[in-house]
Structure 1
Amino acid sequence: MTAPEGPLTGLTVLDLSRMLAGPYCTMVLADLGATVLKVEPPFGDMIRDQGPYADGDELRAYGGYFQSVNRNKQGLVVDITRPEGPEVIRRLATTADILVENFRPGVMERKGIGYERLAEANPRLIYTAIRGFGDPRTGASPVQDWPSFDIVAQAMGGLLGITGPAGGPAVKTGPGFGDILPALFAATGTLAAVHERERTGRGRFVDVGMYDAVVAACERIVYQYSYNGVVAGPEGNAHPLLCPFGVFPARDGHIALAAAPADHHWVLLCEAMGLPELGRDPRYAGNLDRVARQAEVQGIVGEWTSRHTRAELTEALGGKVPFGPVNTADTLFDDPHLKARAMLQQVQHPGLERPVTIAATPIRYANGAEPAVHRAPLLGEHTDAVLRGAGYNDQEIEALRAAGVVAGPA
């Protein structure tokens, strides 16, 4: 399997990451054409057996979770706990452009494959670390050794504290934004370092803390407190600074609309509601006026939307004010926009005769081909090929396999 052609074709990424944050970062790079070599321990990435599994999949090489974020990658098994394992990583890193890992601080250093050691042999290497609380190289944290998962980063970064029914308890977001947000920041920082390397000839250590990334994404709660001393709490489906802006009931579900802050959208909404005089009423003329009467305004809009179906609201509001139905997975599969944009891609799955569908990258280029998607690798599927590409001969590979350092597909 080769990576799809893209702007990053020619870059090689050594991916030692697990779970979601690191693999999502390297997924972005693979989708853009980089050759991503996913290194797993003999038992595989922890998410390989997390499912969900499709009916009829007796092989169960991996589930949908692993497939989605490890597409377009090559897979090899290297056991870095074995004495010879770190040497394999060092050898692979001498020709890699980028290395991505998300272990806790000190793990890679204890194995002799930390940034400084690898950069001695390959000064052009860009080494990207995603950790719960950052790396001491860029700022030691009192909690830097704590383990972290998505829910922890969401909680500590402030995202849970503003999510959920107004006045109610904190609620986590559906997607794993505590992992995905740092992954996207890490991909951005990595590509910035690639650009810099073109000028300087040297790589960099790139560090993103999961906690930090969520704080950066929750920037509104920071300035609300700094400017006005407001400690934001769960907001429900309204917005503290914009009105009307949120989720409203329909006869057959819900819709979202944002007739603010652009006041002309408020006027158009009032006309669609059959209340043109409301759009001219000075009490509601500006966004701040409407925010001051938010409960009243939201109530007026909600009473009108609740009398109509989503299709009727689409006819009345679509293309006039920022508006959209609240979709669920089944409606996404029938959405003409997603079909036109090739956002749901079919991919082969080992053990199944039929393809499965995963979300594609949203990045598009003018005059570019539709994004190609290759299935995620079997455990160790490309071990021999990758090692041969690094200069190992068949006898050396067999010796490593006999010692339990590397493995091919089961």
Structure 2
Amino acid sequence: MSTPPGGSLPGALAGLKVIDLTVMLAGPFCTMLLADQGADVIKVEPPEGDHTRTVGPFMPDDGLRAFGGYFQSVNRNKRSIALDLKSAAGRADFLKLVAGADVVVENFRTGVMDRLGLGYETLAAVNPRLVYACLRGFGDPRTGASPYVDWPAYDVVAQAMGGVMGITGPAPDQPLKVGPGIGDTVPATMLAFGILAAVRHADRTGKGQFVDIAMYDAILALCERIAFQHSYAGVVPHPEGNGHPLLCPFGLFRAADGWVSIACPQDRFWRDLCTAMGRPELGTDPRYALNNDRVVHRAEVIEAVTAWTTTRSKAELGAALGGLVPFGPVNDAADIFADPHVAVREMLQPVDHPGSARRGMIAGVPLRMTLTQGRVRARAPLLDEHADDIRAEFTRAAPSLQKTSNQDQTS
């Protein structure tokens, strides 16, 4: 296998070949995680390209507009080849790619790949070691036929049905969408884990398998406490604002110039907080000394902490509480770009952007490893940018792999 673009030191997944058919956020985020760790991810796009290439934001001086920041962020470290899977030639070429791959990942609606003649059973016959992974709103009938199997789903749908909105918001009757697309990225992360588990099994046994995840299921798993709360206590959890139903204080507090988070999951943290506030007597007061008592007297506890935090800036609160109790300022993007933690952990990575004289900045790789550190090795690919290299590699194994011609393309 050739080294993925921009690579020098191999990652932990070097040698793993992944055929990526995914679009939007969830699927590309999953394959991005694999690519960040060194997998050779070949993004198979339709002749017109992944439609998210047209989504901004764009650099102000970008005259090419081959892709925007959205596409750049989740398609870094990948190679691109354009194949028309609606044509016989495109399907034949795709099967030749599959024959030499370890993993295929797709996030089409149920039945799309089967109607193309490229469903799991067909691909497994071509490559018995293949791990076929898919991500859908409500899973695949092969692993459990949901009554919603034909419903399209996006992040906001998964957040709503999986439970996270039902426990997020300022008041019990005001559910709230979580800001980032966790309905996409959480299922994507879980699918990446599933893929690697299946690859491990294939390495041991020589047998691939079908792996899928429902966005609904992943968000339900993320909201694990609502299951045991309902089962054990018979309650139906609702939005609880910026606090925690079982811990106090544990949430957001207004500062003089914004907001901060303070958490006291252990009683010793509460005593330390009270000392820092200049109210050590609250730490031993029998109404507040133990967490369960503080939960009962939640309003009084929140009032006391808020009276202190609102008179101080985020920086002043950080100086008083940092390293003493669990604490953090509520950061916006500008704060994050200026934070020395982000710099030393390399969590913002510069990438070249075709068509622009500027380099873009995208989120880095949070997983840290001492021997095989994953990293952003290359920008997102131009459409069909690596076709010649990919064809050369697979032609050695399958000589009839030919470049898709305009005559082969069908609507």
Instruction: Say whether residues 1:2 and 2:5 are aligned partners.
Output: yes
Measured after TM superposition, the shift of residue 403 of structure 1 is 2.4
CA distance in 2, matches of 1:272, 1:72: 47
Q: Which amino acid aligns with 2:235?
A: V
SS in 2 for 1:358: strand
Give the aligned length.
Answer: 404
Match of 2:29?
Answer: 24
CA distance in 1, matches of 2:377, 2:337: 18
Match of 2:162?
Answer: 157
Match of 2:262?
Answer: 257
Q: Which amino acid aligns with 1:208?
A: I
Q: Which structure has the higher relative contact order (CA within 8 Å, separation 6+)?
A: 2
How do residues 26-65 of structure 1 correspond to structure 2 at under 5 angstroms? 26-65=31-70
Match of 1:120 among 99, 122, 125: 125
Structure 1, unpaired ranges of 5+? none
Q: Which amino acid aligns with 2:355?
A: G
Cα 1:171/1:223, change in 2 over 3 Å:
same
Match of 2:391?
Answer: 387
Q: Which amino acid aligns with 1:204?
A: Q
SS in 1 for 2:54: coil
SS in 2 for 1:388: helix
Cα 1:187/1:350, change in 2 over 3 Å:
same
How do residues 63-142 of structure 1 correspond to structure 2 at under 5 angstroms? 63-142=68-147
- Greater Cα shift, 359-368 or 339-348: 359-368
Q: Could you tell me whether the CA contact under 8 Å between 2:37 and 2:374 is conserved in 1? A: no
Cα 1:132/1:53, change in 2 over 3 Å:
same
Q: Which amino acid aligns with 1:355?
A: R
**1:318-347: per-residue Cα shift (whole Å, max 9, x none)?**
001000000000010010001010000000
Measured after TM superposition, the shift of residue 145 of structure 1 is 1.0
Instruction: Say whether residues 1:403 and 2:407 are aligned partners.
Output: yes
Q: Quote the sequence identity (%).
A: 54
Q: Which amino acid aligns with 2:289?
A: A
Q: Could you tell me whether the CA contact under 8 Å between 1:384 and 1:397 is conserved in 2? A: no
Q: Which amino acid aligns with 1:25?
A: C
Cα 1:325/1:43, change in 2 over 3 Å:
same
CA distance in 2, matches of 1:310, 1:270: 18
CA distance in 2, matches of 1:396, 1:326: 53
CA distance in 2, matches of 1:405, 1:240: 57
**1:186-245: per-residue Cα shift (whole Å, max 9, x none)?**
000001111112211111111100011010001111111111121111121111111000
Measured after TM superposition, the shift of residue 371 of structure 1 is 2.3
Cα 1:99/1:394, change in 2 over 3 Å:
closer
How do residues 11-410 of structure 1 correspond to structure 2 at under 5 angstroms? 11-260=16-265, 262-368=266-372, 371-391=375-395, 397-398=402-403, 400-405=404-409
Q: Which amino acid aligns with 2:370?
A: A
SS in 2 for 1:24: helix
Q: Could you tell me whether the CA contact under 8 Å between 2:76 and 2:376 is conserved in 1? A: no
Q: Which amino acid aligns with 1:166?
A: A
Q: Could you tell me whether the CA contact under 8 Å between 1:92 and 1:390 is conserved in 2? A: yes
CA distance in 1, matches of 2:88, 2:375: 40
Cα 1:362/1:250, change in 2 over 3 Å:
same
CA distance in 1, matches of 2:162, 2:338: 35
